[in-house]
A and B are shown apart, each in its own frame.
Chain A
Amino acid sequence: MTSTYSVVRDHVAFINFKDEGRFEISGSDATAFINGLVSKDLEALEELRTVQTLFLNDAGEVISIAWVMVDRDRLVILTEPADRELLRDHLQAKHAEAGSLDVTVRDLGETMQSLALMGPSAQKLATDAVHEDIIGLSFLSFDQYDEIDALVMRVGYVGEYEYRILVPQGNEAVEKKIREAGGETGLEEIDPAGLAPLMMEMRQITRSRDLNGVSPIEAGLHEMIDFKKEEFIGRDAVLAMKDNIERRLMTIVIQGPKIAGFDPDVRIDDDVVGRVVSHDYSEGMEAMLVHCVVNSDVAAVGVTYDLYDGSGALVAGTAQSAPLLLTKTIKGVT
């Protein structure tokens, strides 16, 4: 069997994101309601666009990193499995506070499937097997295809073509067509847990892995925030954060074999300058990828840091720019 890494980077993966959080917000006040909760300005979005944004608390801490699709009076929100309950509780609490707004919040976890095609051959397979118009979906756009009862969005976690396909539970027709057509493309089903190193190669941050004690500004999530938006939960806190960034989340690359674990301290010789946040092994780069939060005065691409593995041995790694590699999708090679 081909490795998850190779399936996604060289061919096309079929993924069932069955545990992710997925919610539908509907009603004439749906966009205004969610716009008050997220850091991007949804009112400024063009039609049928998707945005990756943050649900924050008043202290500016991240409750969830989410994809939000906006279609007039209906929004669909997708988030990682670890955020599902947190976001559901947050949405329900804010909905209860909203009083007489025309808003309905539905958890789609049991009623909708979230399938995905991911890889350099994903666009061709999605167009051939799901709907011919998918070829025209630009990055971060979506469309509803009523004839197959599917909502398809084009997003990207790992730098390859990625199409999320939402269909009702029990509708097996789309998956059947994908599997029948997938043989020639090297299609294989993978476990979404295997995507972690590919996401790190693209510096795709997840809350559960990377934001434990790390603020969204330290993590460099500025793209998910409209700083000029007049009002959203956590606004004052993130504005204050960006005025004084004491630490930065860096991606450190350690060439060589897989390392099982690290001492939490990041050092330069005897000076502790940061701590390890998360790590994984990149099969394609043959390197450990380590997310570390590092003091700003020594946080820069090109700086070499000292880490210690579980046995106490010193390993050195260098901070690099993201994305760490050029994927076949980016290079236009299939």
Chain B
Amino acid sequence: MAEARIDLARAKARERREMLERLKGVLIDQLMLSFEPDEIADDTGLFGAGLGLDSVDALEVIFCVENEFGIRTDNDDMLAFRTLNTVIDLVEERSEA
């Protein structure tokens, strides 16, 4: 019997939530941010007014994401590093490829 759409949606939401929490955790730990995970919304910007990261942190962010999720990025991917959700979009895209 085909799985009901709502069950698929629940599974998708669980998976996405887990990836977002992993991303928040690694950024907080590696960049020594003064946030708890539940103080950061999913659409929070990485740079400037959101998490307050700057260009000096950019390489560290990329390194964290590549290591945590086992993906490789290149220059064309830099615009994906805008918010937590857009980073996870990139991770999902690379994981499916």
Contact = CB atoms under 8 A, between A and B. Distances in A.
Interface string A139-160: 1100000000000000000000
Interface in A117-149: 139-140
A118 to B, nearest CB: 18
Contact of A223 (B36, B38, B50, B86): B50
Interface string B14-58: 111100000000000000001010111111110011100000000
Contacts of A273: 6, 9
Contact of A323 (B5, B12, B82): B82
Contact of B49 (A221, A223, A331): A223
A269 interface: yes
B76 to A, nearest CB: 13
Interface stretch (A54-62, A181-189, A296-304): A296-304
B80 to A, nearest CB: 10
Question: Residue among B38, B40, B45, B50 with the most chain A CB within 10 A?
Answer: B38
A302 B95 CA distance: 15
B13 interface: yes
B9 A303 contact: yes
Interface residues of B, number: 32
A243 B39 CA distance: 10
A297 B10 contact: yes
Given A52-B49, A298-B13, A300-B16, A223 B85 contact: no
Contact of B79 (A269, A304, A326): A326
Contacts of A297: 10, 13-14
A227 interface: yes
Contacts, number: 79
A321 B88 CA distance: 9
A221 B13 CA distance: 20
Contacts of B86: 321
Interface string A219-230: 011110101100
A260 interface: no
B51 to A, nearest CB: 9
Given A140-B49, A302-B16, A321-B83, A203 B43 contact: yes
B92 interface: yes
Nearest to B51: A223
Most chain B beta-carbon contacts within 10 A, residue among A140, A248, A268, A330: A268
Contacts of B48: 139-140
B66 interface: no
A304 B43 CA distance: 18
A238 B12 CA distance: 27
Contacts of B83: 321-323
8 contacts: A139-B49, A242-B39, A297-B14, A301-B42, A301-B85, A321-B86, A321-B89, A326-B79
Given A243-B38, A248-B42, A304-B5, 18 more contacts: A220-B42, A222-B40, A222-B41, A228-B34, A269-B6, A273-B9, A296-B13, A297-B10, A297-B14, A298-B13, A300-B12, A300-B13, A301-B42, A301-B85, A302-B16, A303-B9, A321-B89, A322-B83
